Amino acid sequence: MSEALSRLTRWASLFWLGLFAITWALSTWSFDLYKALDARWIIRFPKKFELPLDKWISDAMSWLVEDATFGLFTFRDVTRFISALIEAPYDIVRSLLIDGFAVGQGQQAVQVAPSLSWIAVIGIILALAYHARRRNLVLLVGICFVYLAMFGQWDSAMITLASVLIAVPIGVAGGLALGIFAYRVPLAERMMRPVLDLMQTVPVFAYLVPILFLFGFGPVSALVATVVYAMPPMVRVSTVALQSVPQELIEAGRMVGCTQRQMMWKVLIPTAKPSLMVGVNQVIMLTLNMVIIASMIGAGGLGYDVLTALRRLDIGGGVEAGLAIVVMAIALDRLSQAFAVRRFDAPLNPSLPFHKRRPLLTGILLLVAVTTVAGLFVPPVHLYPEDLTITTGSFWTAAIEWINVNFFNTLEFIKTQLLTFLLVPIKKFFGGIPWIWGILVIGLAAGRVGGWKLGLLAAGLTLFVAASGLWGKAMTTVYLCATSVLIASIIGIPLGIWAGQSARANSVIGAFIDTLQTLPSFVYLIPVVMLFRVGDFSAMIAVVLYALAPAVRYAAHGIRSIDAELIEAGKVFGCTERQILWRIKLPLAAPSLLLGLNQTIMLAISMLVITALVGTRDLGQEVYIALTKANTGQGIVAGLAVAFIAIIADRIVTALARSSRERLGLK
Amino acid sequence: MERPVKLDCRGVWKIYGSDPKAFLARHGGAPTAEDLAAERMTGAVRDASVQICEGEIFVIMGLSGSGKSTLVRCLSRLIEPTAGEIQFEGRNLLSMNEAELIEVRRKKMGMVFQHFALLPHLTVLQNAAFPLEVQGVDKKTREDRARQMIEIVGLVGREDHFPRQLSGGQQQRVGIARSLVADPDLWFLDEPFSALDPLIRREMQDEFMRLQAMLHKTIVFITHDFDEAIRLADRIAVMKDGVIEQIATPEELVRNPATSYVEDFTQHIPRAKVVKLRSVMAQGVPEGPYAGELPGSLTVAEAVDQVEAAPHPFKVLDEDGVAVGTIDGRTVVDVMIGRRS
Ligand SMILES: Nc1ncnc2c1ncn2[C@@H]1O[C@H](COP(=O)(O)OP(=O)(O)OP(=O)(O)O)[C@@H](O)[C@H]1O
Ligand SMILES: [Mg+2]
């Protein structure tokens, strides 16, 4: 029995070893092979068999925009209608926050009402924080917004906030509506699930291309892209939240004679509200993330400031705008989280007069009225006085310069060492794999882990990548992703284990990781570019920072959720701390670690695409180029290639996690 | 005591599995346990027939998984039976459309749930008023009515609390208030006290009896606790694996179990708790000194202290207060200690 088992494990490790050895050999000598046999198809997918999918998509899009008609109206009319629908409320919010209300066009425009004063905006935000019943929160949010005013980021921040204020309600309402639909119609849920899966793996830039093509450059495009990006998690959260309302409550609703609508609005949604609010928080954070990225297609605001600063290599401006984004992200995140955990209010006493029933609201209305009127006569009340703003731009420029001057050698040393001994070899390894063998080896590995169906799926998706003529770039993506995930795991897992074992470590590491995770992905590029300039190495660092959080979280969770009795049993048998860690905790935490790995890979891939901005030569760059040329087909195909890589990785790691759970008898 | 039938259910089946209707048809509408097992179907309720009379407390009892909840959900049509007929006040419940069903539930039925099923975002008062809110009753009327109910269940002073701020017993009181606020005729209770501690459970049972003495509802009460069943029931239906094994008064159940399962079930029940004086009394009332008179509906356990302490036997009265028999100390002690004479 045990002999058979050991033969089995030996055979298993032989399989993996063999696979790796062949891959390595082929990767090393593929170029020589091609030279020797004069067979270029070995390293390059033959041109004449390439799928012209990108051209087809581009043609289809052009047809949609130019010729498609639904009888009464054309496709163009539909996009115009959507634009108008989004633009109207956006204009209102923007007028309210910054521009002020005007009548007339262009030069003839006459202002009829001013925008809200900065004091009023801060007052409203503080009242919201107070309403969420968190004293500390009021302080934190107050500091954040006063920072934005004092450091001269107010206008950009308000433009960004306006986009958020429009995109979030649309995302939440749309997500909730689709979620309700999926909850009511199980067939719809089954059909939506793969679409949602794909939406969450397709890189953000890839959305931007067709949207840019359909809606043109400007805030509307940015808002559409933002909503498309931020809505899928809300759909999922809504469906799950509704599904997890206890059956008894639904029966109670039916027994008192609720109609379908009453059931939804009086029973299901209020009961599911705490979970729904988690979804709302997610929508807010994703919206902010995307609003920043969407500055590339005309969102304006803080993202635009960062983008221009990055392009001009204006260190000070970049860091300033970046910090403003950080501040805003933290404020919005904490605020929405506070609302998520807020308890239900006691009913108001209707006999009291309005100002006694709602003192906070009354105060805010007064504040708005007073500051608006006073702002007309005393400008500083309306706009934060410019000569009181503090510019830190030159400080940051100097600081970075100082670091670069004093630590140039150290930084450069680290960079070259890592490049020579890690990045370049891995790049060579992946880059050299001939495409045919690549397809085969993925299929074999996936099949071995998750059954022949998964194997076929993986091989098929890989074939798509190769057949689109993207093999080389895809391998660059894989190499960057693999390296970043490796480093993120090496840093993150030990941190997570430490946090899982010690409450004190956890409070520090947890806070750090929470903050890292609230930051929009764009922000990570700034310090990295400042210190390491452009290239693969900078990209890798940004990806590692962005993808670190799940590695830490899941490791900590895995360690923490181990049955305490098992650890006690280990102690009783006289295990040392070390043995307990290696023999009990780690094996039991393996499924959790694998789930963390999965999330790390997903985040790494999504970040990788954004690092195209700092000059990687992977699929992200392909999408980015497509974006600048507004080439829909190229963008979508490259985006799909990225999504397919993500899907393959996801399925393989999930299968691994599943089998490791089964091995441990966990369900 | 002939009462009109309120809810009449005949030959009700509820089968889980793939295409249960076709399965039932294949087996001529009466599959055996083997048929079910062979096709991996679950017979949650099998051929159940019960008549629930106006004003009675009808208890359905059985072990976990025996199909009690499923049966009661068929009776209220929260789930669709696979086959069978259900008449509610002479109307066919199963052919009602959604609107009719909503109307019946709003006006005629109330239900209490095992885990209370209170809405977490509403206060005690709002929860109790919820059925009326759904019916569109104006705020003042419904809150007045809810306040009355809260008073009846003894929760005055907690109207503005949220469910999470209440103990289990208090939460179930809210559940009871809610189920009664629309003044239903038929009251379903699905293991209402099972989630409570034994002491509180007893207190709630007393409370329940007090309420019923006041309200005279028709009640379908589910429990897996035989003691609870005996305390409360006019009649008991014992279920096993979806089948109703016997329907009888508590006393009959103990004295004449229909199947060995019921017998096993009732064996450990102290007979004195269910046996009524009228069943063990000596017929006829001869001359002689008597210690007093006792109603025949009293159980032996309730009468034992009095009867045993007295120097003379007691007269036993029937429902109309006419003396029909006598009972002495030796007979009650025989029943108490299980000695057969
Ligand atoms: N939706 C369902 N699908 C499949 N089987 C079900 C379903 N609901 C109930 N059953 C099965 O029907 C049987 C009866 O269940 P039911 O809930 O009525 O039992 P119960 O007597 O109320 O038990 P408990 O005391 O645990 O509440 C059980 O075997 C259960 O597994
Ligand atoms: Mg039950």
DSSP one-letter code for A98: I
B162 shares contact with chain A (CB less than 8 Å)? yes
Give mean pLDDT, residues B295-320. Answer: 86
Looking at residue A489, its pLDDT comes to 94
B310 shares contact with chain A (CB less than 8 Å)? no
- The neighbouring-strand residues paired with B57 are B219
Give mean pLDDT, residues B200-212. Answer: 89
Looking at residue A564, its pLDDT comes to 80
> Distance (Å, rounded) from C-alpha B261 to C-alpha B63?
11
Give mean pLDDT, residues A636-660. Answer: 88
DSSP one-letter code for B159: T
- Which range among A47-61, A324-338, B277-291 shows the weakest confidence by mean pLDDT? A47-61
Query: Is residue A548 domain-resident?
Result: yes
Considering only residues A355 and A498, tell me which one the structure prediction assigns the higher pLDDT. Answer: A498
> Distance (Å, rounded) from C-alpha A495 to C-alpha A262?
48
Q: Which residue has the tokens 């308000």?
A: A158
Give mean pLDDT, residues B204-224. Answer: 91
Could you identify the atom of ligand 1 that is nearest to the CA of residue B239?
A: 21
Residue of B nearest to A269 (CA): B121
CA distances A259 to A156, A520, B102, B134, B142, Å, are: 47, 43, 7, 8, 19
Q: In what order do the strands lie in the sheet with B5-16?
A: B42-53, B5-16, B83-88, B91-92
Phi-psi region of A10 (alpha: psi -120 to 50; beta: other; left: phi over 0): alpha
Q: Which long-range contacts (CB under 8 A, 24 or more apart) does B196-200 make?
A: B196/B168, B196/B169, B196/B172, B197/B168, B200/B167, B200/B168, B200/B169
Give mean pLDDT, residues A251-262. Answer: 93
CA distances B128 to A91, A341, B133, B166, B268, Å, are: 46, 25, 10, 14, 40
pLDDT higher than threshold 80 for residue A624: yes
Percent of chain A with pLDDT over 70: 97
Structure token digits, residue A495: 């941190």
Considering only residues A268 and A216, tell me which one the structure prediction assigns the higher pLDDT. Answer: A268
Q: Per the CB < 8 Å rule, is A249 touching B117?
A: yes
Closest CB to B121: pick one of A255, A257, A273: A273
Give mean pLDDT, residues A423-444. Answer: 88
Over the range A636-645, which residues count as b (16 or more CB within 10 Å of their CB) and which as e? bbbbbbbbbb
Percent of chain A with pLDDT over 90: 20
Looking at residue B238, its pLDDT comes to 94
Looking at residue A666, its pLDDT comes to 66
Query: Is residue A535 domain-resident?
Result: yes
User: What's the CA-to-centroid distance between B264 and ligand 1, angstroms?
Assistant: 23
Looking at residue A662, its pLDDT comes to 83
Considering only residues B275 and A249, tell me which one the structure prediction assigns the higher pLDDT. Answer: A249
Percent of chain B with pLDDT over 90: 55
**CB of B168 shorter than 6 A to ligand 1:** no
Looking at residue A1, its pLDDT comes to 47
> Distance (Å, rounded) from C-alpha A459 to C-alpha A438?
9
Query: Is residue A42 domain-resident?
Result: yes
pLDDT higher than threshold 60 for residue B341: no
Residue of B nearest to A346 (CA): B160
**CB of B69 shorter than 6 A to ligand 1:** yes
What is the average pLDDT value for chain A, to the nearest integer? 85
Looking at residue A345, its pLDDT comes to 67
Q: Return the CATH number at A449.
A: 1.10.3720.10
- The one-letter code for the residue type at A412 is E
Query: Is residue A630 domain-resident?
Result: yes
* Closest by CA position to B82, among listed B26, B38, B34: B26
pLDDT higher than threshold 70 for residue A360: yes
* Closest by CA position to B263, among listed B284, B276, B248: B248
pLDDT higher than threshold 70 for residue A661: yes
Looking at residue A58, its pLDDT comes to 84
Chain A, residues 347-406, CB within 8 A of chain B, namely 347
Looking at residue A3, its pLDDT comes to 65
Query: Is residue A493 domain-resident?
Result: yes
Tens-place pLDDT, residues B233-268 = 999 999 999 999 999 999 899 888 999 999 888 888
**CB of B223 shorter than 6 A to ligand 1:** no
Tens-place pLDDT, residues A197-230 = 888 777 777 778 888 888 888 889 899 999 988 9
In this prediction, residue B340 has a pLDDT band, given cuts at 50, 70 and 90, of low
CB atoms near residue A216 (< 10 Å): 14
Q: Per the CB < 8 Å rule, is A266 touching B123?
A: no
Query: Is residue A141 domain-resident?
Result: no
Phi first, then psi: what are they for B257, rounded to 5°?
-60, 135
Q: In what order do the strands lie in the sheet with B282-283?
A: B282-283, B323-327, B314-317, B292-295
Chain A closest-CA separation from residue B121 CA (Å): 6
Query: Is residue A517 domain-resident?
Result: yes
Domains located in chain B, CATH noted:
54-76+97-108+184-268 (3.40.50.300), 272-336 (3.10.580.10)
B130 shares contact with chain A (CB less than 8 Å)? yes
**CB of B172 shorter than 6 A to ligand 1:** no
DSSP one-letter code for A99: I
Query: Is residue A605 domain-resident?
Result: yes
Give mean pLDDT, residues A246-254. Answer: 94
> Distance (Å, rounded) from C-alpha A480 to C-alpha A423?
8
- Which range among A234-248, A400-414, A544-558, B191-205 shows the weakest confidence by mean pLDDT? A400-414
Give mean pLDDT, residues B308-319. Answer: 86
Residues measured by CB to lie within 5 Å of ligand 2, the ion: B 69
Looking at residue A173, its pLDDT comes to 95
Over the range A401-439, which residues count as b (16 or more CB within 10 Å of their CB) and which as e? eeebeeeeeeeeeebeebbeeebeebbebbbbbbbebbb
Q: Which chain B residues are closer than 8 Å to A273 by Cβ?
A: 121
By CB neighbour count within 10 A (0-12 exposed, 13-18 middle, 19+ buried), where does B288 fall? Answer: exposed
Considering only residues B16 and A217, tell me which one the structure prediction assigns the higher pLDDT. Answer: B16
**CB of B70 shorter than 6 A to ligand 1:** yes
Looking at residue A346, its pLDDT comes to 64
Give mean pLDDT, residues B121-147. Answer: 93
**CB of B67 shorter than 6 A to ligand 1:** yes
Q: With a cut of 0.90, is the ipTM above it?
A: no
pLDDT higher than threshold 80 for residue A393: no
Contact of A155 with A98, CB cutoff 8 Å: yes
Contact of A331 with A528, CB cutoff 8 Å: no
Q: In this structure, which residue's CA is closest to atom 5 in ligand 1?
A: B16
Looking at residue B106, its pLDDT comes to 93
CA distances B50 to A130, A381, B60, B239, Å, are: 58, 78, 10, 12
Name which of A244, A256, A269 to mutate to probe chain B: the one with the most chain B Cβ atoms within 10 A of its Cβ: A256
pLDDT higher than threshold 60 for residue A579: yes
Q: Which residue has the tokens 């503080």?
A: A126
In this prediction, residue A4 has a pLDDT band, given cuts at 50, 70 and 90, of low
> Distance (Å, rounded) from C-alpha A134 to C-alpha B170?
30
Looking at residue B94, its pLDDT comes to 93
Q: Helix A619-629 vs helix A586-610: angle between axes, to the nearest 10 degrees?
A: 30
- The neighbouring-strand residues paired with B325 are B283, B316
Looking at residue B95, its pLDDT comes to 93
User: What's the CA-to-centroid distance between B36 and ligand 2, angstroms?
Assistant: 21
pLDDT higher than threshold 90 for residue A352: no
pLDDT higher than threshold 90 for residue A165: yes
Domains of chain A: total: 1
Q: Which domain holds residue A641?
A: 17-31+38-62+409-664
DSSP letters of A195-262?
Answer: HHHHHHHS-HHHHHHHHHHHH-SSHHHHHHHHHHHHHHHHHHHHHHHHHTS-HHHHHHHHHTT--HHH
pLDDT higher than threshold 70 for residue A347: no
CA distances A505 to A126, A420, A508, A550, Å, are: 32, 34, 5, 17
Tens-place pLDDT, residues B70-96 = 999 999 999 999 999 999 999 999 999
Looking at residue B266, its pLDDT comes to 84
Q: How far is CA A292 from the centre of its chain?
A: 12
Tens-place pLDDT, residues A66-76 = 777 777 777 78
